[in-house]
Structure 1
Amino acid sequence: MAEKRKINPWLKAALEFGPLLVFFAVFTRMKDAQVMVGGTSYSGFVVATALFIPLMIVTTGLLWRLTGRLAPMQVATLVLVVVFGGLSVWFNDPHFFKMKPTLIYLIFAGLLAVGLLRGKPWLQLVMDETIPMRPEGWLILTKRLIALFLGLAVANELVWRTMSDQAWVNFKTFGLTILMFGFFMAQGPLITRYGLPKDKE
Structure 2
Amino acid sequence: MAEHHLIEGGPNAPEENKINPMLKFALELGPLVVFFFANSRGPWLAERFPALAELGGPLFIATGLFMVATVVALSVSWALTRTLPVMPLVSGFFVIVFGTLTIWLQNETFIKMKPTIVNALFGAILLGGLLFGRSLLGYVFNQAFKLDDAGWRKLTMRWGLFFLVMAAVNEIVWRNFSTDFWAGFKVWATMPITMVFMLCQIPLLQRHATESLFGDTEPKK
Q: CA deviation at 1:73?
A: 0.3
Structure 2 residue 118 is the aligned partner of structure 1 residue 104: yes
Residue in structure 2 matching 1:28, options 40, 47, 59 = 40
Using the alignment, how far apart are the partners of 2:126 and 2:152 within structure 1? 11
Residue in structure 1 matching 2:152, options 131, 135, 138 = 138
Corresponding residue of 2:135: 121
Q: CA deviation at 1:166?
A: 1.0
Q: CA deviation at 1:141?
A: 1.4
Where does structure 1 differ by over 6 angstroms across 4 or more consecutive aligned residues? 31-37
Higher share in helix:
1
Structure 2 residue 18 is the aligned partner of structure 1 residue 16: no
| Paired residue type of 2:118 | I
Residue in structure 1 matching 2:60, options 31, 41, 46 = 46
Q: Spell out, residue by residue over 1:15-43, the C-alpha distance to the aligned partner (whole angstroms, 9 max, x if none).
A: 33222212211211227999998xx8822
Q: CA deviation at 1:145?
A: 0.9
Q: Gaps spanning 5+ residues in structure 1: where? A: none
SS in 2 for 1:70: coil
RMSD: 2.7
Which of 1 and 2 has higher RCO (CA within 8 Å, sep 6+)? Answer: 2
The more displaced of 154-163 and 102-111 is: 102-111
Q: Gaps spanning 5+ residues in structure 2: where? A: 6-14, 213-217
Change (3 A) 1:14 1:123: closer
- How many residue pairs were aligned? 199
Change (3 A) 1:15 1:196: closer
| Paired residue type of 1:52 | F
Corresponding residue of 2:69: 55
Q: Spell out, residue by residue over 1:62-96, the C-alpha distance to the aligned partner (whole angstroms, 9 max, x if none).
A: 22112221111011011000000110000001110
State the TM-score, normalized to the length of structure 1: 0.86
| Paired residue type of 1:25 | F
Change (3 A) 1:75 1:41: closer
Change (3 A) 1:151 1:45: same
Using the alignment, how far apart are the partners of 2:55 and 2:147 within structure 1? 53
State the TM-score, normalized to the length of structure 2: 0.79
Corresponding residue of 2:10: none
Q: CA deviation at 1:156?
A: 0.3
